Structure 1
Amino acid sequence: MKKPLIIGLSVTLLVLIATGLYFKRDIQRAHFVASLFNGQEQYQTFGRLAEIFPVSTMSPSPSPYTIAQGTEITLPKHFSYDGTRYSSEQFISDTDTSALLVIHQGKIRFERYWLSGGPDVNWLSMSVAKSFIATGIGIAVGEGFIDVQKPIIDYLPSLKDSAYDQATVEHVLQMSSGAAWNEDYSNPDSDVLRLGRIMAMGGSLDEFVPSLISENTPGTVNHYNSADTQALGMLLAAATGRSVTDYLQEKVWHPLGMNSPGYWLIDDFNVEMAFGGLNATARDYAKLGELYRLNGLWQGKQLLSPQWIEKSTTVQAPHLRPGIHELFPLGYGYQWWIPEGEEGEYSAIGVYNQFIYVNPSRDLVIVKLSANSEYGTTEGEASNKEMATFELLRAIAQQFPAH
């Protein structure tokens, strides 16, 4: 009798272990999302999200491009924002910076990693992913799959009678869809955190987007809305007949010579978290900035039209101008942020201080990857430090001549 009992107990134990392993990732997902925007340190997790979430993978380029090394610069010791003088070194530490990469005229002039960062670490993009999605849309426009002046419901009938019923593709690109939305990371009942809970607890991103209702006439108010980018991801897949992962791998990831795989967090139905779920290395993020700095021309091939670059990175309507919003005084293009100034700067920005900053007049691209633990603990600049970060990047840019 002992032998069957031992066998039975062993089988039970194996089942329990297997069940625990099966649910381990779900538990980790829920714990990670619950830990966001409440002051907890995140630098130990932002570089290993592919271990916690289900992902789809863009493979490294078969023709990898290595960014050349240039003469190393030193960072400015201080910079100023809103009347406060900051130590650059202290600010980098205070915002839990994992990577800072400065590329001038296509050469690396500064590269440092801290905390859990590193040249081969795939770091969570947050909303920097939005600029990658817009790049895919731009390529699809060039290939004739999408017309930005058409209603988005022409491509996505599932959005009929939703907030997107009267919006054109361009309205959505410009965060001007008119959809009602709350992007407050300090409010647990906000729309953006409801969207995030799909990634924590399971569900369908494609079913969430049509649930939104209208608040403004499309094309009249710039209202930052992560669901707009999720709708663009749906559009890219529907118009091309391919997944976001598959299309961007062929049209962006491989042509830019990405050295490392890129991971997209996906929902229960293998749909990419288009609004913020990309994971990539600092050098590979920088290549997107370089593509835009070079006006869409990469290694002798026009990957993206100059017209798309211009519309993406310049203000196209009065409601998109810098200074319209008190809390975040930047203008908006096609999923790129545009500050006031004379140098033509623009940036992809993600929460927790992820940046791809581009200054074409100084031939410059800067990537800052971070895990600012204060982010979202309040609604404003005091904790989020995005505008202060912008001034740090501008101070670095001042070391290079303008033309």
Structure 2
Amino acid sequence: MRRALKWLGRAALALLLAALVVGFYKREEITRLMAVNSLFSEGKIVANFSHMDRAFLTRAISRGDGPVSPLPTGTATILPPNTDQWINERFVTSLLVLHRGQIVHESYRLGTLAEDRRIGWSIAKSFLSALFGIIKAEGAIGSLDDQVTQYVPALTGSAYDGVTIRNILQMTSGVAFDEDYLDYDSDINKMGRVLALGGSMDGFAAALDTRIAQPGAQWKYVSIDTHVLGMVIRGATGRDIPDLLSEKIIAPLGLEVEPYYLTDGRGVAFALGGVNMTTRDYARFGQMIAQGGYWHGKQIVPADWIASSTIASAPTAPDKIRYGYQWWIPKEARDGVFMARGIYGQYIYVDQPRDVVIVTTGADRQFRNPGVHDVNIAMFRAIAAAL
């Protein structure tokens, strides 16, 4: 009995030592996984969204060495009477309104600051759309109807085999992907753990092997489609996304603060939702888009790409929000009104006819509740109409 207890004790000690060794060498991955598990918790979400670089692998997007571009201050506007109530109810952390290219309102809430580089989540998709428009105009892409495997052979045999670039731009790939953020076992949360643990986003995409519809037949918002768009851009150019985005968009914009991407363990940018920048710099991007891709004497993004990517072209359901090439078009919106949109209350709302750009960042844990998005759009429309 005594001999057995001695061996059990030795075995337990060995297991403990093994666990300590694994914990030591995997401490960064464990820290990131713990950060993911508490990323959206009520007491941490605001600070987390301003400091994503504390928990995730990142890659700077160089702003270049050029001067900061002007973002002048205009006459302060009087916002609609219910704006403060909306800000409080929707946990808005910043609100910036541009009218005719001038700041007419700028405010920061819940302890955030103007210099905070806030995570934009799926706002990043619209950045990638703009980048794609540039490289297509430069001749790196033949046609929107080219199959993605032409540029990314690693996707041959996956659910993306037979999918075109147009399909992924419009979210009509037909690839099965569960986007339920509240389900621990959903695909979107599995993807988040791949990111946190330093895995490969490319490998995750290539491992998807199931479709719910034929390519082009059905619209379904699938975030991983945008990662595949990034793979196409990389395959077509032989360059990575942060360097391309820096050269083609970020440096020409003249941002105030250098932005950054979240990355996976291979250093690949989390292009579908990992851009972090200040509210003013999001506004610069939005104003450039509102001006048809033109910014301070230079055509950054081709005007025809802005026009074609921001109109409703995807086969969304009738009387529902509409979709273009990685841009959203609100229900009943007039021509020239569209937006970039991210979870938890991130928006770049563009109203070209009124020459208005509205940027919000937020920490709204009820963002998926019925009617919340409609309330936000109604608020943006009221602000734009009041100018």
Instruction: Give the TM-score taking structure 2 as reference length.
Output: 0.89
Of all paired residues, the percent bearing the same amino acid is 38
Q: Which letter does structure 2 place at the counterpart of 1:132? A: F
Residue segments in structure 2 that go unaligned for 5+ positions in a row? 1-21
Which segment drifts farther, 146-155 or 106-115?
A: 146-155
Q: Give the match's secondary structure for 1:45.
A: helix
For residues 10-55 of structure 1, give each alpha carbon's deviation from its aligned partner in whole angstroms, at most 9, with x where no partner exists: xxxxxxxxx9998664344212311255655400111011122111
Deviations 1:245-296 (A, max 9, x none): 0000000100111111111011110011111111100111112211211111
Aligned match of 1:85:
none
After TM superposition, the structure 1 = structure 2 runs for residues 131-150 of structure 1, keeping only pairs within 5 Å, are 131-146=126-141, 147-150=143-146
Counterpart position of 1:5: none
For 1:136, the aligned partner's letter is L
- Could you tell me how far apart the structure 2 residues matched to 1:129 and 1:281 are? 13
Q: Are 1:124 and 2:124 matched, yes or no? A: no
The whole-number CA distance in structure 2 between the counterparts of 1:359 and 1:117 is: 26
Q: How many residues align?
A: 364
Opposite residue 380 of structure 2, the aligned amino acid is: L
Question: Residue type matched to 2:363 in 1?
Answer: A
CA–CA separation in structure 2 for the residues paired with 1:387 and 1:201: 36
2:151 to 125, 150, 155: 155
Q: Do the aligned partners of residues 399 and 215 (structure 1) sit closer, same or farther apart at CA in structure 2, a change above 3 Å counting?
A: same
Q: Deviations over 1:65-88 (max 9, x none)?
A: 12011000121012xxxxxxxxx2
- 1:65-214 to 2 correspondences below 5 Å: 65-78=69-82, 88-146=83-141, 147-212=143-208, 213-214=210-211
From 219, 223, 230, the counterpart of 1:222: 219
Structure 2 residue 36 is the aligned partner of structure 1 residue 33: yes
Between the aligned partners of 2:308 and 2:25, the Cα distance in structure 1 is 46
Return the alpha-carbon distance in structure 2 between the equivalents of residues 195 and 20 of structure 1: 22
1:249 aligned to 246, 251, 275, which one? 246
| Range with greater deviation from structure 2 (179-188 or 35-44) | 35-44
Q: Is contact 2:40–2:365 with CA below 8 Å preserved after alignment?
A: yes
Check if 1:372 corresponds to 2:364.
yes
**Which residue of structure 2 lines up, in the alignment, with residue 8 of structure 1?**
none
Within 2, Cα distance between the matches of 1:24 and 1:92? 38
Secondary structure, in 3 states, of the residue corresponding to 1:69?
coil
Residue 324 of structure 2 aligns with an amino acid whose one-letter code is: G
1:381 and 2:373 correspond = no
Partner of 1:50: 53
**1:52–1:22: structure 2 CA closer, same or farther, 3 Å change rule?**
farther
Distance 1:22 1:75 in 2: 53
Kindly indicate whether residue 355 of structure 2 is the aligned counterpart of residue 363 of structure 1.
yes
Consecutive aligned runs of 4 or more in structure 1 exceeding 4 Å deviation:
19-25, 36-41
Cα distance, 1:388–1:41 mapped onto 2, change above 3 Å:
farther
The offset of 1:358, in angstroms, is 0.3
**What secondary structure is seen at the aligned counterpart in 2 of 1:394?**
helix
Report SS of the residue matched to 2:46.
coil
Answer yes or no: is the 8 Å Cα contact 2:115–2:257 preserved in 1.
yes
CA displacement at 1:62 relative to structure 2: 2.2
SS of 1:126 mapped into structure 2: coil
TM-score normalized by the length of structure 1: 0.86
**Separation in 1, partners of 2:246, 2:318:** 33
Q: After TM superposition, give the deviation of residue 149 of structure 1 in Å.
A: 1.9
1:333 lines up with 2:330 in the alignment: no
